[in-house]
Amino acid sequence: MARNARVELLYPFAAPPAFESFTEVAPGVRWLRFPLPFALNHINLYLLDDGDGWALVDTGIKSDISFDLWERHFGTTLDGKPITRLIGTHFHPDHIGCAQFLTERWKPEFLTNRTEWLTGASLQSETSASGPAQFWGDYYRGAGLDEETLAAVAHRGENYAARVGRMPRPFTHVAEGDVLSIGGRVWRAIIGTGHSPALICLYCEAEKLFISSDQVLPGISPNISVGATEPTGDPLSDFLESCQRLKALDPETYVLPMHGRPFYRLHERLDELMRHHDERLAVTLEAAKEPITIVELLPILFKRELDFQQMQFAVGEAMAHANHLVTRGDLSRIAEPGKPILYRAR
Ligand SMILES: [Zn+2]
């Protein structure tokens, strides 16, 4: 994810809650923060007061640290009430990693989008022995990685299952426009795309509250990546379209994101995100006047040193920009078996 905070957003809270504590961000809406073992070192979760129980939005990554933290919250933050509904916004491990743990413990209704459920369930069934190492090898070779780095990523396999419990079943499908009544508030589901296939955002129009999950984040640009399963995909088209659609929300909307802090100035942030991608697209197009590989694009698009995990994100993001330019008809994608893919301006 790229840092690009040029627009001054308004943050009602100067600091996040401590991991074992919470902050009430609106009446009956409790903001929790859980740690992550990545450069992006935290995720926000939201507990919505639902009268006799709580509706929880997202869960934290599967780890003993998360489980221990949940045990502490069960005894304090829940005010003695059960979690009766669990909403998984999308299939990424930091969002639904503890879903199995929480559903076994509280037996809540589990709500998510069907496409997200299927994506997560499918990735869970994969092990490095079942083939994905091959896909990832082809993918990174296509991106132009050298043989040494390829050897390192070849053993990567699919590490999704390690960070996620079993996808809970049964689940309740949440689709665009569905309405959830939680504690007297009416939340309408808005399905975002680009970061994941069908990410659930929740909008309470009466109070202009918007749980954006990873669709709109402050400070960092949501990761928009092409992966090994669908290397010709164009998730950036989907993301930019979602940004446009979200501009229909009230400009005074209070945004509750899953990373960073709650903020105001949604429209300015959406404009900034779209501008950020426009700039990246222009740089990519300029660089591809001569045929170029994804790996050759990285130092042009990312000015900072990338660690191994960031390099993997960066490859996916660079490919998302290049593929979008292919969709727009600005670039050709030249793919020959066993060779790095070349992108060239038309
Ligand atoms: Zn995500």
Interval 250-274: pLDDT, tens:
999 999 999 999 999 999 999 999 9
Question: Ligand 1 centroid vs 336 CA: distance in angstroms?
Answer: 32
Task: Using alpha carbons, list the distances in angstroms from residue 261 to 5, 128, 155, 200.
Answer: 13, 36, 36, 19
Question: Ligand 1 centroid vs 90 CA: distance in angstroms?
Answer: 7
Question: Ligand 1 centroid vs 1 CA: distance in angstroms?
Answer: 11
pLDDT at 199 over 60: yes
Choice among 16-30, 84-98, 176-190, 306-320 with the minimum mean pLDDT: 306-320
Query: What is the reported pLDDT for 129?
Result: 61
- Looking up tokens 């680009």, which residue turns up? 194
Q: Give me the mean pLDDT over the 163-180 stretch.
A: 96
Residue 136 in tokens:
């990832």
42-90 pLDDT, tens digit per residue, is 999 999 999 999 999 999 999 999 999 999 999 999 999 999 999 999 9
Residue 319: φ, ψ to 5°: -65, -35
Query: What is the reported pLDDT for 7?
Result: 83
Task: Using alpha carbons, list the distances in angstroms from residue 123 to 53, 86, 136, 197.
Answer: 32, 21, 13, 14
Question: Ligand 1 centroid vs 291 CA: distance in angstroms?
Answer: 32
Query: What is the reported pLDDT for 136?
Result: 78
Question: Ligand 1 centroid vs 165 CA: distance in angstroms?
Answer: 16
Nearest-CA neighbor of 93 among 58, 41, 127?
Answer: 58
CA dist., res. 149 & res. 152, Å (int)? 5
Rg of the chain (C-alpha set): 20
Question: Ligand 1 centroid vs 110 CA: distance in angstroms?
Answer: 18
Query: What is the reported pLDDT for 2?
Result: 47
Question: Ligand 1 centroid vs 195 CA: distance in angstroms?
Answer: 6
CA atoms within 13 A on the CB side of 326: 19
pLDDT at 5 over 60: no
CA dist., res. 17 & res. 14, Å (int)? 10
Question: Ligand 1 centroid vs 92 CA: distance in angstroms?
Answer: 5
CA dist., res. 193 & res. 82, Å (int)? 32
The domains located in the chain, with CATH, are 23-128+155-286 (3.60.15.10)
Question: Ligand 1 centroid vs 95 CA: distance in angstroms?
Answer: 7
Question: Ligand 1 centroid vs 22 CA: distance in angstroms?
Answer: 22
Q: Which pairs from 13-22 meet CB under 8 Å and 24+ separation? A: 13/261, 13/262, 16/42, 16/44, 16/261, 19/69, 20/69, 20/72, 20/73, 20/76, 21/77, 22/47, 22/73, 22/77
Helix, strand, coil shares of the chain, percent, nearest 5, are 35, 20, 45
pLDDT at 221 over 90: yes
Question: Ligand 1 centroid vs 239 CA: distance in angstroms?
Answer: 13
What is the band of 284 on the pLDDT scale with cuts at 50, 70, 90? very high
Query: What is the reported pLDDT for 271?
Result: 98
233 in Cβ contact with 219 (< 8 Å)? no
The dihedral over CA atoms of 234, 272, 39, 300, expressed in degrees to the nearest 10, equals 70
Query: What is the reported pLDDT for 153?
Result: 76
CA dist., res. 188 & res. 248, Å (int)? 14
Question: Ligand 1 centroid vs 6 CA: distance in angstroms?
Answer: 22
Q: 302 or 1: which carries more pLDDT confidence?
A: 302
- What pTM was estimated for this model as a whole? 0.95
